[in-house]
Chains A and B, each alone.
Chain A
């Protein structure tokens, strides 16, 4: 009787492999579903982005409707910002399809780089009063210190966005996804990889030291905008961690 029962070890192994295989398939389905959801969001955003770009081109020919251009740009930026939060959550919970989700992230980075370029254009053409706040960070950083800093930076910016609403166009960009346009933009605004994470306000003020929200808000007071615009780069002493480009 005992001898015949020893087959149970193999039988249990086969059952375990089967159940485990089902589990892995479930995991793949779940992560595929999440990836396709991000893919859907991305496709829609891509269309919106192309539309905005086309609009900007139209405006440059002289058909100006700055108000519309600005509001659509801000709405789009907000949409992409919210989508990036979803992407972030899915990415954190991704186990099997990590490469695909990284690819999605890269696509979004290109989209956001385009948004930034477009936003600079609109600001120049329309003399818009909103602020371009670009947050450049290391995406593949494994250092605990860097991850903690980046987490606080993004929280800080999230809070800023809540306070300022459509006054601020918030664009988070990963610096280390091998995207040439982002590298070029970083070069253009003199941002090196060593000083990341960096907040760049209106392509003029660079912040790479943690500061509190009230201090950060001071950059957005009207007088600074005027000062910046008149190139009278007078910054309050309290903003000692910032750098005027």
Chain B
């Protein structure tokens, strides 16, 4: 057997394993998938809203925080990270309206992590809630998330992130992606393998954040780093699937690409930082770090194989066309369209169908309004085209790492 089929089979095996793992986790836990514990203690929450040029959305964000149905809100700290727009003025105006609102104006730009660390130092609550300045938490979000802290060693709780703008094709694809991420994150919750408590809304136990020394200001994805760090220090991370926070997704390819590249760079920074955890420190070393390393390797290796196959195919086609022109033979004829699929094709199609069913199942379980007949075409597009771009992002991320370009924005 040649090497290429072995590579294909390896990829299929890993994909099938992940699919079965997720399916089994869902089947085992489907009854309490959306459940959340009621809080049995009075936990005060300090909100932190890091802001940099957020004049368009910050007022709505603060309104949503103020409208939450959770009674124990200690304060809402906006860290204005030297914005050059009207963010400061807007927050100052809102301070009169929202009594718990506090504003910190950084004299120098500290970045998101740095800003949050400033807020963490002055926060008085038991819990520290991070809300991105363009994200709107659901009214019941904190109330439903707080109960998870009944367990002493829970260090962070996250919830579903939904795309607020999901009208255009590109936005709809991201909306599907966000749902898939939320679903799989909940599944990972059951094995204590949540690897990210994302910025739009993450609720941390303040003592846990202090335990890990706050947010890493050098990491481009401080939320991933904090989650890994919590895991390394033995803190559990939980997910509430019954509530959500809405966030704006990039509407154009370029900002989307930049955002994903930043995520990749941050992920690789985390791999490097926690490389010694491999095989140790519970699920961090047994699952999270190996999963990221394997994902990076498979992405790069897959892209290399793809590049090799594409190049040889292009050269072959070029030579074939050149010789066909010399010989005057047709380049394409209908007679050649025999379909004789090999068994790898059958396996690939079967795997694709399973993945498609899994995605549909996710959207159905999460009662996704995208699951309309006219939108069904988006799902195969998401699976075939959208996800294929990821290895290319990985390569550019590595290139950025090599060149030392670690800019958050």
Contact = CB atoms under 8 A, between A and B. Distances in A.
A23 B323 contact: no
Contacts of B287: 9
A145 interface: yes
A125 B26 CA distance: 78
Nearest to A212: B328
B21 A151 contact: no
Residue among A11, A19, A145, A149 with the highest chain B CB neighbour number at 10 A: A19
B329 interface: yes
The SS class assigned to the B binding surface is: helix
A95 B344 contact: yes
A213 interface: yes
B340 interface: yes
Contacts of A95: 1, 5, 342-344
Interface stretch (A25-33, A48-56, A57-65, A71-79): A25-33
Contact of B190 (A5, A147, A211): A5
B347 A12 contact: no
Interface string B310-342: 001001100110111011111000000010111
Interface in B83-118: none
A8 interface: yes
A148 B1 contact: no
B191 interface: yes
A51 B369 CA distance: 70
B13 A16 contact: yes
Nearest to B8: A95
A30 B21 contact: no
Contact of B324 (A16, A20, A23, A155): A155
Contacts of B328: 212-214
A83 to B, nearest CB: 14
Given A95-B5, A147-B316, A214-B328, A5 B25 contact: yes
Contacts of A226: none
Contacts of B327: 152-153, 155-156, 210-213
B347 to A, nearest CB: 5
Nearest to A155: B329
B343 A152 contact: no
Interface string B66-80: 000000000000000
Contacts of A44: none
A96 B343 CA distance: 9
Residue among A13, A27, A92 with the highest chain B CB neighbour number at 10 A: A27
B192 interface: yes
A144 interface: yes
A26 B324 CA distance: 38
Contacts of A6: 191
A159 interface: yes
Nearest to A90: B340
B346 interface: yes
B320 A151 contact: yes
Residue among A8, A20, A151, A211 with the highest chain B CB neighbour number at 10 A: A8
Given A2-B236, A89-B338, A210-B323, A12 B20 contact: yes
B24 interface: yes
A96 B342 CA distance: 10
B132 to A, nearest CB: 29
Contacts of B236: 2
Interface in B242-258: none
A152 B329 contact: yes
B16 A19 contact: yes
B191 A15 contact: no
B41 interface: no
B16 A152 contact: no
Contact of B25 (A8, A20, A156, A212): A8
Interface in A203-230: 210-214
Given A5-B28, A213-B328, A144 B13 contact: no
B2 interface: yes
Given A152-B323, A152-B324, A210-B323, A94 B17 contact: no
A93 interface: yes
Contacts of A11: 24
Contacts of A8: 21, 24-25, 28, 190-191
A98 B6 CA distance: 14
Contacts of A98: 1-2
A6 B329 CA distance: 61
Interface in B288-329: 312, 315-316, 319-320, 322-324, 326-329
B343 A26 contact: yes
Nearest to B338: A89
Given A12-B20, A90-B340, A26 B1 contact: no
Given A147-B316, A213-B328, A13 B17 contact: yes
A192 B329 CA distance: 26
Nearest to A93: B342
Contacts of B13: 16, 20
A20 B16 contact: yes
Given A94-B342, A155-B327, A213-B327, A19 B20 contact: yes
B343 A31 contact: yes
Nearest to B13: A20
Interface string B170-202: 000000000000000000001110000000000
B308 to A, nearest CB: 12
A9 B24 CA distance: 9
Interface of B: 1-2, 5, 12-13, 16-17, 20-21, 24-25, 28-29, 190-192, 236, 287, 312, 315-316, 319-320, 322-324, 326-330, 338, 340-347, 350
23 contacts: A5-B190, A8-B28, A9-B191, A19-B20, A23-B350, A27-B343, A27-B344, A31-B343, A89-B338, A89-B340, A92-B342, A94-B342, A95-B344, A96-B5, A144-B312, A145-B319, A149-B319, A152-B323, A153-B327, A210-B326, A210-B327, A212-B329, A213-B329
